[in-house]
Amino acid sequence: MTGADSVPGVDAAVDLEALGGYLREQGVVFDGNLHATRLSGGKSNLTFRLTDDGDGAWVLRRPPLAGLTPSAHDMAREYRVTHALQGTEVPVAPTVALCDDDSVLGAPFTVMGFVDGTVIRAVDDVAALSDTDVAACTEEMIGVLAALHRVDYRAVGLGEFGRPEGYLERQATRWLRQWDHVATEELPDVERLGTKLLAAVPHSSGASLVHGDYRIDNVMLDPVDPGRILAVVDWELSTLGDPLADVAMMCAYRAPELSRVLGFPAAWTDPAIPDTDDLAHRYSLASGSTLAHWDFHLALAYFKIGVVAAGIAHRTRSGAAAGADDAAGAVPEYMRLGLRALEGKEK
């Protein structure tokens, strides 16, 4: 089978012949040969568009070839939650196959139906939208996040998807431990912030499905109507937990440092997007909830993104990622932001 020759990295990541055989065994029908094209986007898992010799189109996601970090590339988790959300208020891509047999591609992978939507990834993409479109997109994002948090996770078969009890404390502990795997340098603020977070863990505001990585480039918009989300993507950090942790991540991503983490001027940092306080307020209105212990949630979000930035730098050094050479430089600023938020100075 052909189709990967012109795209660097595809040959190593996707054995099209083995993949085709596996998909046929799963009952997936496609015409002729499979072809793969690497899609730009996330710095964690690798994403490819699959096509056949007809009109078929799918999306394959698999972990990177090197520089893996613990718990950061859970393919089964992504698939399970999107499969459960089919038919709910939360728009997701159709699920096709989950393979946990490393003998096919050398790692677990998922295949989803291709959604022909628009991804707003960079500030230039935001500039192409009108003010009305940006406002409609933002409102839709808030509405979809609130809808996700309303999903009866037990009713959709996700009652064992996570442990809401003790979620916040586990998050602080886990991400501090993750730092030990990806540390780029000795940073006293990491230990300071981690220690302060562990000492300030509040009672949870509730239990819901959480996405864990919610921002504008992880949704696919209707090309005709940017105020309509066709699919929420990148569910690898999803679990059962405190919904305010999700809101805080969305808000913390507004910091300009996100552009250093991703390696390009990130859309979610654009001034046209409502600021952190505005986003949080809009969510409060849409969900009918208060933002209890908001300083803690925001500080934890900054801490997590700082560790994510260190993880990207870790994979860059190992040769498994490119285009984010300055990700390590963002880490100290995220830790500083986290400390300021925890002290109630970020208003």
CB 284 within 8 Å of CB 250 = no
Per-residue model confidence (pLDDT) at position 347: 43
Tokens matching residue 295: 């300083």
For 41-94, write each residue's pLDDT tens digit.
555 678 899 999 999 999 999 988 765 544 445 678 889 999 999 999 999 999
> pLDDT of 24-39, one tens digit each?
999 999 999 999 999 8
Summarize the confidence of residues 187-196 as an average pLDDT. Answer: 93
Q: What percent of the chain has pLDDT over 70?
A: 90
Domains of the chain plus CATH, in order, are 10-113 (3.30.200.20), 123-342 (3.90.1200.10)
- Report CA 286 to chain centroid distance, whole Å: 22
Instruction: Please write the tens of the pLDDT for every residue from 279-338.
Output: 999 999 999 999 999 999 999 999 999 999 998 887 777 665 555 568 889 999 999 999
Query: Does the pLDDT of residue 141 top 70, yes or no?
Result: yes
Cβ neighbour number for residue 17 with a 10 Å cutoff? 11
User: For residue 331, what are the contacts with CB-CB under 8 A and spacing of at least 6?
Assistant: 184, 187, 190, 306, 307, 309, 310, 313
Q: Phi/psi at 106 (nearest 5 deg)?
A: 85, 0
For 235: left if phi > 0, alpha if psi spans -120 to 50, otherwise beta; the answer is: alpha
Residue 206 phi/psi, 5-degree rounding, is 155, -175
**Average pLDDT, rounded, for the chain:** 90
Buried b (16+ CB within 10 A) or exposed e, 112-146: bebbebbbbbbbebbeebeeebbbbbbebbbbbbb
Residues in CB range of 278: below 8 A, 6 or more apart: none
Distance CA 345, CA 86 (A): 41
pLDDT, tens only, 208-243: 999 999 999 999 999 999 999 999 998 988 999 999
pLDDT of residue 325: 65
* Of 315 and 195, the one with more pLDDT: 195
